[in-house]
Amino acid sequence: MDGDLREIMEAGLEAADPREAVRRALSVEGGRVEAGGETFEPERVFVLSVGKAAVAMAEAAEELLGDGLAGGLVVAKDDGADEGDLRTLEVLVASHPEPDERGVEAARRVENLLDGLQEGDLLLALVSGGASALLADVAEEIGIEDLKNLTQSLLKSGAAIGEINAVRKHVSTLKGGGLVRRAAPGSVAGLLLSDVVGDEPSSIASGLTAPDPTTREDARRVIHDYGIEPPPSVSAHLDRAEETPKPGDAVFDGVLNVVVGGGRLSASAAAEKARDLGYEPLLLSTYLTGDARDVALTYAAIVREALESGNPVRPPCAIVSGGEATVVVRGDGTGGPNQEFALALATYLDGLEGWGAFAVDTDGNDGPTDAAGGLVDGETAEGIRAGGVEPGGALAENDAYNALKAADALVVTGPTGTNVNDLRVALVRGGRG
């Protein structure tokens, strides 16, 4: 079953290829640029590519634009991934998930690029998940250290990515549509590789190119509801900062946003591969969110029922989902949402035969670790114990990384060059295991 799971995982990752996503959405002929079915005839074309898939998306755009590309920047994650073979575009690297000084410098360089745009210019904004942290466009009165502290608190709080981004938008200069405001009078076309549930442009990478439906009051509410004590500079900024541009603002007239790929495509490809391998797929949802332990509990219930009654789908079957799980940090361990899901599922189904599952973050890095996630079955919990770790204790301490490592159950892909959120698959074979 391990081999089948890995083939399904690979199919899901291949479907999220960022180069192909750009090639599907962008074409160039003569002086015309067609993006998402709309045609532009710009005097100059610039590219800004930001996020975990920034290099791959930029390579595709540079290839298509050729000599018609006037210049631009790429802001990528510093994780040892290949920086590509770009001829015109300059690559800058920064930190993720916590911002750093390099991200501040990258934001300054991006602002300079935007300030130089003129009437008749077109900015192709190639945006993928991770851009919120990589582009540390922090308001001047807040500064990078206070932004780091705020980000750490948000990431540990269990807040959903949409809630985290509502705060980010209101302590930033480019997020929440600020990039479009800064780019005027140039035109903007955003090609967005979605890593958020629902693929809403205002949520992808904190809505660099989209109107912001959230408000400063929403940001304050998130901070309050999750018991976060923000640095004084953040509170002061939220009290007096200018609001982000909202839907209907004239600054977005003529702005194009196209979602060129996302979690549904990846999950669907995984489901089809499972079918090819002889498993009846059930694509639960690509909107599955919440605490990783609760998601694992739902999966455990479905696996048990499928084994016992053939409901909701008869084995051999594949239970597939996408979305974004979260972790409420209660202990001092190491891990990420997908590893926590895998450890929790192994614990809930300890000793049960006839199933196997994986959960991975499609960017190749789950949380602040070098693992993409975990691959487990009914024997994993015993393997963890044999490695000297108690599964339940590790779960209580949020130490999924070391628990899974003890059973050789980590999935390590290295940086994948893409990011369309989490992918989870459980295979159920029943007595034919």
The total of structural domains in the chain comes to 2
Q: Is residue 6 part of a domain?
A: no
Reduce the secondary structure of 26-73 to three states and give it as a string: EEEECCEEEECCEEECCCEEEEEEECCCHHHHHHHHHHHHHHHEEEEE
Same domain for 227 and 205, yes or no, is yes
- Check residue 293 and give its pLDDT: 97
- Check residue 379 and give its pLDDT: 98
Q: Judge contact between 169 and 214, C-beta under 8 A.
A: yes
Q: Tell whether the model's pLDDT for residue 377 goes beyond 50.
A: yes
Mean pLDDT of the region 117-136:
95
Same domain for 410 and 356, yes or no, is yes
- Check residue 315 and give its pLDDT: 98
CA distance 384 to 391: 6
pTM greater than 0.75: yes
Q: Tell whether the model's pLDDT for residue 57 goes beyond 50.
A: yes
What token pair was written down for 331?
A: 């202990």
**pLDDT tens across 315-328, in order?**
999 999 999 999 98
Q: Is residue 245 part of a domain?
A: yes
More confident residue, 276 or 199: 276
Instruction: State the pairing for strand pair 373-377/38-40.
Output: unpaired
Same domain for 305 and 366, yes or no, is yes
- Check residue 79 and give its pLDDT: 72
Mean pLDDT of the region 288-314:
96
Q: What CATH number has the domain bearing residue 408?
A: 3.40.1480.10
At 433, is the pLDDT very low, low, confident or very high (cuts 50, 70, 90)? Answer: very low
Same domain for 222 and 309, yes or no, is no
Structural domain ending residue among the three candidates 261, 286, 314 = 261
Q: Tell whether the model's pLDDT for residue 126 goes beyond 80.
A: yes
**pLDDT tens across 280-290, in order?**
999 999 999 99
**pLDDT tens across 408-424, in order?**
999 999 989 888 999 99
Residue 104, CB half-sphere, CA atoms under 13 Å: how many? 12
Q: Tell whether the model's pLDDT for residue 432 goes beyond 50.
A: no
Q: Judge contact between 55 and 197, C-beta under 8 A.
A: no
Give residue for tokens 């891990």.
Answer: 335
Q: Is residue 102 part of a domain?
A: yes
**What single DSSP character describes residue 172?**
B
**pLDDT tens across 7-16, in order?**
999 999 999 9
For the chain, give the percent of residues with pLDDT over 90: 89
Same domain for 323 and 413, yes or no, is yes
Same domain for 72 and 122, yes or no, is yes
Q: Judge contact between 417 and 82, C-beta under 8 A.
A: yes
Give residue for tokens 């790429």.
Answer: 74
Same domain for 396 and 427, yes or no, is yes
Q: Is residue 3 part of a domain?
A: no
Q: State the average pLDDT for the chain.
A: 95
Mean pLDDT of the region 12-40:
94
- Check residue 97 and give its pLDDT: 85
Range of the domain at 362: 264-432
**pLDDT tens across 153-171, in order?**
998 898 988 899 899 999 9
Mean pLDDT of the region 228-239:
96
Same domain for 102 and 64, yes or no, is yes
Structural domain ending residue among the three candidates 210, 226, 261 = 261
Q: What CATH number has the domain bearing residue 152?
A: 3.40.50.10180
Structural domain ending residue among the three candidates 261, 293, 317 = 261
